[in-house]
Amino acid sequence: MRTSFICLVMCLVHVADVAGQDTLESVDRVRGGRHWIDAKVDPPKSAKESKAKFRIEPGFRVELVASEPLVFDPVAIAFDHLGQMFVVEYGDYPTGPEEKGAPPLSRVVLLTDRDGDGVMDERFVFADQLNFAHSLLPVDDGILVGAQNQIVFLKDSTGDHRADIREVWFEGFVAAHPQMQIGNPRWGFDNWIYLNYGPGEIVRRRGAGGDIESSEPVTMPRLDFRFHPRTMEFEADNGLGQFGNTIDKYGYRFFTTNRNPIMVRRLTRSEAQRNPFVSISRGHVDVGPAGGDTRVYPLVAMKSNWLSHAGTHTSACGVTAYTGDLFGSEPDQSSVFVCEPVGHLVTRSIVYPDGSGLNARRAEPKADFLASSDTWFRPASLATGPDGALYLADMYRMWVEHPKFLPPDIAARIDWRAGEDRGRIWRIVPERKKASTFRPPQDDDDLLALLRDPNGWRRRLGQRLIVEGQMQNLVPRLRAMLEPIASGNVETAALTRLHALWTLHGLAALTDDDLTRLLRDPGHHLRLAAVQLLAPRLAGNKRLVELVGQMAGDDEPRVRYQVALAMGESASEKCGSYLTSLAKSDGIDEWFATAILTSSRQCSGAILQGLFADPKIASRPQYGDIVRRLAEVVGARGDAAELKLVLDALAPTADKRGAWWQTVTLRGLATGLPRYRGELGRLSLASLLSGPPTALEESMGPIRELMKQTQEVSLDSQRSSGDRVAATELMAFQSPQQTLGALRRLLSSAQPVEVQRAAIEGLRRVPEDDAMETILTNWSSLGPSLRGPALELLMARKESTRATLVAMKAGTLSAAAVGVERRIRLLRHADAEIKQLAIDLFGGAVSADRVAVAKQYEAALTIDASMERGIEVFRKTCASCHRVDGVGHDVGPDISDVRNRARDALLYDILDPNRKVEPRFNDYTVITIDGIVINGLLVTETAKTVVLRQAENKQVVIQRDQIDEMHASGKSLMPEGVEKTVSVQQMADLLEYLKQRTVRSAAGR
């Protein structure tokens, strides 16, 4: 029987590079990459046989908890307040029921151990017919489930182990794929519930008092999601996880995507958006290696439609921070586990503090925590249990694939339901430690004892139950628990106090005095939490501002970072001095700089003045990033007094003429000023230089002198290229009458390429006709690397695009200079005249029948091909958006894993790119009020800005008030129509390169 493994990940590949398995070379000898479909596969093993195939980190053992027929397709495990095990069975994956209209197949089951031997022996179907349910969380004596486009609450009110209450709390979520949908609910230290992936038009169905309601739809962006279980307030949360969401023992939330095993949020959504003059493209970071920098060590070769990313994470999911007390850990460190179902393994990383953030390292340098040679072993997620053990959901299926990601003819040959009658749950414990027995709490004393327990699962349970019950009678005893604990385990004592603190917060019982006392606590986690909880109280409270601001000198970087964020909650002038202190001590750090920027709405000028006054800063160009970004805020805010403050500080003197920070600050001001919208009218650096407001007239004289120097520096061949580029970029912000002549001179072939490129960019700021004339006049002298930016400038607007194509048709300009991507866009252009000109120049229109086009190119699968020629095709056709072997740019999907993808499948991917498009690779088009057309991937959007990523990894920040039209095409950034510029032979060469180069590079590694 042909079987298929159904997994929670999409980019699915084969993991290789270990002793005793097939080498990449031998696997690749089977041409076409589809040998796994018809190859003989090992039969499934019994639980006992499968257990014998495990290799686990020394000092640990694996025990069987449950297997079929007690459990099927397990993908998530959770334990309720009684210690009962609930399991989600993901029967719907990958395509739902076979019969149209049939009920959904996913379930939540309750497994019980009647005889207490640690092995489950009874099964109850708690709830069934759940649509693509794949995750759960015990709350409010029930179970909360993520189910495709809904968050569903299930509860058994009769005691028969069957949910008779089924409520939809939220709905309207838009699922991208079965592994990228709303789910993985987790109770945060702040008593909010956090979930992965929550975009959509969200309707709340449950009110604050538990009443059924139907709110108006609220648009949620493509980010994670959180809600408060008491008030039912909900919002987006920075981060974008797939199937993996966890909160460690200190309260950090980690999430995962298939190539990013551990990520963490650095800014909340509100922190990232509160300063409207700052554009922040991301609020989260990888913790430790990601993508091709990760390493895994599988025991067997996985037969799949894709080969692996050469021994790296490719299907990371189920990230879980262990919070029990059996495994042991160093203080301030966490063990974080990640499932890798493609490789039949689980990794363990040690997460540790690193400056203002976190980093991670492998627990074992050259081996994974758990790996199996049983090719049916498919770890999906893990959970810490009430006994302190680590529990693992093993979906136990054969193939890791989804029909959407296979060529149709291959997908049709696979029985996607085969293998759904199996599943295992495993328990992992240390060799020499015994898991403790959990006794559910019976009274108040038991609840408080849970907070003192060394097992983090129990501490969280205690906090949740007290907060859910709003047990105000426990406030005095909880407040007493905030006091330092002299005896016992130091870390457990600190974590007990931390949970007591957040429990009091959940009861709305924390006083200012409770928190200010903790600012002096010896434990930095308590100090950090105190700053975090005091932040919303700073507005209008000078005393608290001073107390928190004084923490800017704290020894712990993470505390200082939190202080930088907290200052943004107050409008006090004192905040500026504290932020200046932080900018001096930590401003070189990117995330510290970002935190300071989010808080600097009204004090950026004061911070800049403080930095300029410090001679140590003036001698360190490493501060350039924060200086430029602060100056952008000053410019965009457009406050006359603040502008004067900064302009006066820039005035050149004998000891600071031409200093780096003068140029950088002016560049920041020049970038920010056009975003100003206020009583001074439209501002720009050019307008300030030519006709400043009366309040700034006196300050502009020295600035005019500085700007005059920029033109001199840009043309000075004796200066470094870096100085000349910076000067050219700044010079271009002056009026066109002042700059056009210099920009034309800088386009001479005698000038360094980087200076010419800066001059081309500067031409964007002169009238369209002048820019076009300058480019056309100098076209013949422009080198290949400059013609792309020049064409981008010429085709930024419809009018100039039309004029450029007319010039090409007349022979004034060579059409050969138009690259593949732009040709295809022109052939699909919305403007009929431009489209027809493109057809006349480049050949017929792009065919809508992509399957027919692919059929015409099938000869590329069999004719002789050259890898060397294929490299050149890749450089010209693909490298602007894809990176392979160090060549190209990481804009589109990672294609470094295609060495064993079927050639015909790869051909379809190239010629029919819209057949399968992940939302994050959807092409967006923005048309500005000036008529500029901008295409790219949507990186982020705020109330004020939209950020697009274009080819060659260029990011474009667009102010919303400058947008006339914006829409998602529903198509890939990679446009259809490659056949217009790539011949059958070139396609064969490209396929040869994509297939063969990875074999060589992997063998070399």
Q: Domains plus CATH for the chain?
A: 24-430 (2.120.10.30), 444-510 (no CATH), 568-800 (1.25.10), 801-845 (no CATH), 850-1004 (2.30.30.100)
Backbone phi, psi, residue 128, to 5°: -130, -175
Residue 40 scores a pLDDT above 70: no
Provide the pLDDT for residue 882: 77
Residue 326 scores a pLDDT above 70: yes
What value does the mean pLDDT of the chain take? 87
CB-based burial label for 38 (10 Å; 0-12, 13-18, 19+): exposed
Task: Give the lowest-confidence range in 18-27, 205-214, 823-832, 895-904.
Answer: 18-27
Q: What's the CA gap between 134 and 150, in Å, rounded? A: 11
Type of residue found at 11 = C
pLDDT digits (tens, 9 = 90+) for 930-942: 777 787 878 777 6
Q: What's the CA gap between 31 and 711, in Å, rounded? A: 60
pTM of the model: 0.85
Backbone phi, psi, residue 422, to 5°: -135, 165
Provide the pLDDT for residue 627: 97
CB-based burial label for 926 (10 Å; 0-12, 13-18, 19+): buried
Percentage of the chain exceeding pLDDT 70: 88
pLDDT, greater one: 198 or 877: 198
Confidence class of residue 552 from pLDDT cuts 50, 70 and 90? Answer: very high
Residue 614 scores a pLDDT above 60: yes
Percentage of the chain exceeding pLDDT 90: 59
Task: Give the lowest-confidence range in 131-145, 532-546, 899-913, 951-965.
Answer: 899-913
Residues 6+ positions from 52 with CB-CB distance below 8 Å: none
Top mean-pLDDT range of 413-422, 657-666, 996-1005? 657-666
Confidence class of residue 21 from pLDDT cuts 50, 70 and 90? Answer: very low
Query: What DSSP string runs through 385-400?
Result: -TTS-EEEEE---S--
pLDDT digits (tens, 9 = 90+) for 41-85: 788 999 999 999 999 999 999 999 999 999 999 999 999 999 999
Confidence class of residue 24 from pLDDT cuts 50, 70 and 90? Answer: very low
Mean pLDDT of 672-685: 86
Residue 404 scores a pLDDT above 80: no
Residue 209 scores a pLDDT above 90: no
Confidence class of residue 574 from pLDDT cuts 50, 70 and 90? Answer: very high
Backbone phi, psi, residue 111, to 5°: -110, 135
pLDDT, greater one: 860 or 653: 860
Provide the pLDDT for residue 14: 34
SS3 270: helix
Is the CB of residue 553 less than 8 Å from the CB of residue 581? yes
Provide the pLDDT for residue 29: 30
Confidence class of residue 264 from pLDDT cuts 50, 70 and 90? Answer: very high
Mean pLDDT of 292-308: 73
Provide the pLDDT for residue 897: 58
Provide the pLDDT for residue 1005: 33
Mean pLDDT of 137-145: 98
Provide the pLDDT for residue 724: 93
The rounded Cα 742 to chain-centroid distance in angstroms is: 42
Q: What's the CA gap between 730 and 758, in Å, rounded? A: 10
Residue 854 scores a pLDDT above 80: no
Report the candidate in 919, 921, 935 with the shortest Cα–Cα distance to residue 967. 935
Q: What's the CA gap between 548 and 575, in Å, rounded? A: 10
Provide the pLDDT for residue 997: 57
Report the candidate in 347, 341, 351, 335 with the shortest Cα–Cα distance to residue 388. 335
Top mean-pLDDT range of 628-642, 646-660, 690-704, 991-1005? 628-642
Query: What DSSP string runs through 227-252?
Result: E-TTT--EEEES---SS-EEE-TTS-
Confidence class of residue 1004 from pLDDT cuts 50, 70 and 90? Answer: very low
Residue 751 scores a pLDDT above 80: yes
- From residue 67, give the alpha-carbon distance in Å to each of 51, 112, 396, 422, 551: 12, 13, 10, 7, 53
Report the candidate in 794, 801, 791 with the shortest Cα–Cα distance to residue 826. 801
Is the CB of residue 423 less than 8 Å from the CB of residue 381? no
Confidence class of residue 98 from pLDDT cuts 50, 70 and 90? Answer: confident
pLDDT digits (tens, 9 = 90+) for 142-156: 999 999 999 999 999
| C-alpha neighbours within 13 Å on the C-beta side of residue 709 | 18
CB-based burial label for 6 (10 Å; 0-12, 13-18, 19+): buried
Report the candidate in 414, 416, 420 with the shortest Cα–Cα distance to residue 38. 414
Two tokens, residue 285: 């970071």
Report the candidate in 864, 806, 867, 862 with the shortest Cα–Cα distance to residue 833. 806
Provide the pLDDT for residue 517: 98
The rounded Cα 452 to chain-centroid distance in angstroms is: 35
